[in-house]
Amino acid sequence: MKKEFSSEHLLYVKKQRNKRIAILVTQISILVIFLLLWELLTLFNIVDSFLFSSPDRIIKTVSQLYLSGELFLHIGTTLYETIIGFILASLTGTLVAVIFWWSDFLRRVFEPYVVVLNSLPKIALGPLIIIWFGAGTKAIVFMTFLVTVIVTIINMYTGFCEVDKDKILLLKSMGANKGKIFIHLVMPYSIPTFITTLKINVGMSWIGSIMGEYLVSRQGIGYLIVYGGQVFKLDLVMTGTVILCLLAALMYLIVALFEKISRRQK
């Protein structure tokens, strides 16, 4: 369908596009200026590159890590822990939320436990987790899971409860049982909540995995950062942080893409 637009409309569209471009250009400029400033300030010794590192040093550190074959080992380890924890927690949390929605009795029984677990700083369980799961990947995945799962339960359950009561009534009048109400109404209704939860979970699972690696690890980005701090190699700390930023952004983008696809399938 081809439509003729008025010149006013075309002007409006053009204005909107120019605005988007302006935003993008400014965003990129800020990053470039920041990196440039950082590099120059350290180059002329105005700030100490030993304490603050520099873009140049970070690139060198990355290439060193790459040449020694460590780079992808660390990235792979952390990514693995984060993603496995993220998926397990998102699925388990959603499943528990479904059970709570299904059975008011079970929800009321377990509500105080969920509330307490939610308020408890998960890092306090660190020593226990290490003893139970050993000082390795398993413990970190479990930490990630723990940090993420409670938030998932609470978010998803709240989402399920927001379903329009009249629509439930309508389905009941058609003779629908709980299962049918869930499949035909609650599930499709909660897809936006699920995606919001996934977005939050991306952040939560990074917190979990890095926290886990701080506590106990021999490899991973969190390990790089902690180790760098201990031996005062701030290049390593900065490099770890930068890699982390990139990975988190990447994971967020994947979820955002998932959101776009699910919207289109409406």
Task: Name which position in 35, 99, 135, 171 contacts other proteins (CB under 8 A).
Answer: 171
Return d(Cα 144, Cα 204) in angstroms, integer.
8
> Would you count residue 185 as binding other proteins (CB under 8 A)?
yes
220 in the Ramachandran plot: left (φ > 0), alpha (ψ -120 to 50) or beta?
Answer: left
> Would you count residue 111 as binding other proteins (CB under 8 A)?
no
Residue type (1 letter), 266: K
> Would you count residue 266 as binding other proteins (CB under 8 A)?
yes
Task: Name which position in 60, 107, 178, 184 contacts other proteins (CB under 8 A).
Answer: 184
Part of the chain binding other proteins (CB under 8 A), chosen from 43-51, 179-187, 239-247, 249-257: 179-187
What token pair was written down for 12? 């409006």
Within 194-253, the residues that bind other proteins by CB under 8 A are none
Task: Name which position in 180, 230, 232, 249 contacts other proteins (CB under 8 A).
Answer: 180
Q: How far is CA 190 from the centre of its chain?
A: 19
> Would you count residue 104 as binding other proteins (CB under 8 A)?
no
Q: Say how many residues touch other proteins, by CB under 8 A.
A: 17
Task: Name which position in 60, 107, 138, 167 contacts other proteins (CB under 8 A).
Answer: 167
| 94: number of Cβ within 10 Å | 23
CB 260 to other proteins: min, Å:
16
Which residues, other chains included, contact 6 with Cβ-Cβ below 8 Å and sequence gap of 6+?
A: none
> Would you count residue 175 as binding other proteins (CB under 8 A)?
yes
CB 155 to other proteins: min, Å:
20
Q: Scan for tokens 């413990």, then name that residue.
A: 139
Cα separations in angstroms, 94 against 84, 133, 150, 171:
15, 24, 10, 23
> Would you count residue 173 as binding other proteins (CB under 8 A)?
yes
Return d(Cα 238, Cα 260) in angstroms, integer.
33
Residue number with CB closer to other proteins (167 or 199): 167
> Hey, CA dihedral for 224, 229, 232, 234, is it positive or negative?
positive
Residues that bind other proteins in the complex, under the rule CB under 8 A? 164, 166-167, 169-176, 180, 184-185, 188-189, 266
